[in-house]
Structure 1
Amino acid sequence: MFEIMTESSPELLAIRVSGRLSKADYARIIPWLDEQLARHPHPAMVVDMRDFHGWDGAGALFEDARFGLTHRGDLRRVAMIGDRTWQSWLATLFAPFMKTELRYFERAEVERAWDWARGPVRAAP
């Protein structure tokens, strides 16, 4: 399931992902994310995945990929916090398709992830 974290603000969207995600979970969170992006262009995002165990079927995974590709240039930067090797691989896999900075942080790097998400975007080469 998704949980909007209390640290969320117009400049920094923060969500916690736990358990296994279903297509219904995306039906609940995507309208909120779409609304936030329409009101406040280019916020940063923190996705805390430390208790995330995967998706319940291809439909949920498809919704995740669809949202990411639809909004790939709408976020200033994305910090993913996790504790599983496959989550790091997931970040590496999605990074080339994003038009934003995307970085994965291990459980021990939580404060560093938040600091990075709040920081400035690097200049394009």
Structure 2
Amino acid sequence: MIEKLENLPEGVIGFKIHTKLAAEDYQQVLAPAVEQATQVGPIRCVLVIEEFHGMTGGAVKDDLKLGMEHLRGWKRIAVVTDIAWISNLTGLFGWMIPGETKVFPLAEQQSAIAWAAEPGPDQASN
């Protein structure tokens, strides 16, 4: 299950993941939010994961599809979790994820949101 985070800075989308992700989560929540974000600019995303029990087969397929459809659209992904294996895998395989990826502990959710909202080096003012 996934819920959309509210009251984020302009240009940042965010989600809180609970237990197990299903294809419906992608189709009803994630995909529409990502589509809307691409209309505004690069995708800046915050994923808060307090508890995670995997993904259905349909969710895995939709995850790959969503990532590939917007391969060049991802700017920053902040992963906020205290789950060690998610932090470790993100650190290990972050280079495979388009855009910048950074892991934050749950206690630093506001820092993760601020990081996701920051302009990148190619957008900074001179």
Aligned to 2:20, the other structure's residue is in SS state strand
- Deviation track 1:45-98 (CA, whole Å, cap 9, x = no partner) reads 111112333213x33223223322332321221111012112113323542223
Report what 1:59 is aligned to.
Answer: 58
- Return the TM-score normalized by structure 1: 0.80
Give the Å deviation of 1:34.
3.9
Tell me which residue corresponds to 1:105.
104
Q: Secondary structure at the match of 1:122?
A: coil
Structure 1 residue 21: Cα displacement: 0.7
Q: Distance in 2 between matches of 1:88 and 1:54?
A: 15
Give ranges in structure 1 of 5+ residues lacking alignment. none
Q: Is the 8 A contact 1:10 1:36 kept in 2?
A: no
In structure 2, the CA distance between the partners of 1:113 and 1:68, relative to structure 1 (3 Å rule), is: same
The one-letter code matched in structure 2 to 1:72 is L
1:70 and 1:97 map into 2 onto residues whose CA distance is 15
> Is 1:23 the equivalent of 2:51?
no
**Contact in 2 for aligned 1:10/1:43 (Cα 8 Å):** no
Size of the alignment, in residue pairs? 122
Rounded to whole Å, the distance in 1 between the matches of 2:31 and 2:64 is 15
The 5-angstrom pairing of residues 3-14 of structure 1 reads 3-8=3-8, 10-14=10-14
Structure 2: gaps spanning 5 or more residues: none
Match of 1:122 in 2: 121
Q: Point out the structure with the larger strand share.
A: 1
Contact 2:9 2:117 in 1 (8 A): no
- 2:58 pairs with 1:81: no
One-letter amino acid matched to 1:50? E
- TM-score of the aligned structures, taking structure 2 as reference length: 0.80
Identity of aligned residues (%): 26
SS of structure 2 residue aligned to 1:20? coil
Do the aligned residues in 2 keep the contact of 1:69 with 1:97 (CA within 8 Å)?
no
